Amino acid sequence: MNQAAAAKGRAAAGLVLPPLPDDLRRQEAHAPVLEGEPLIAILARERQALDRANARQGRTVRFYDDLTSKYGSHP
């Protein structure tokens, strides 16, 4: 019964979530393709861009997991 009352109180009070960090909203651009440049150099830059995007996605997951651990579970 206490849990139900607490849940009702939280729902009535509303929930103020922290803002999403700006870094997590950023999109990663593809590596530029410069005419005459070796393909291996372009590929290396593209892989670096993918590494940055994957790291950002990991930070997004940690941010979300932190929210759910503090404010409740996800569906």
Helices in 1-75 by DSSP H: which ranges? 2-13, 39-71
Rounded distance between C-alpha atoms, residue 52 and residue 25, angstroms: 13
pLDDT 10s digits, 7-28? 676 666 677 788 888 888 889 9
What integer pLDDT is reported at residue 73 of this predicted model? 64
The pTM (predicted TM-score) of the whole model is: 0.67
Rounded distance between C-alpha atoms, residue 75 and residue 72, angstroms: 10
Lowest mean pLDDT among 2-6, 28-32, 46-50, 60-64: 2-6
Residue for token pair 């830059």: 45
pLDDT 10s digits, 50-64? 999 999 999 999 998
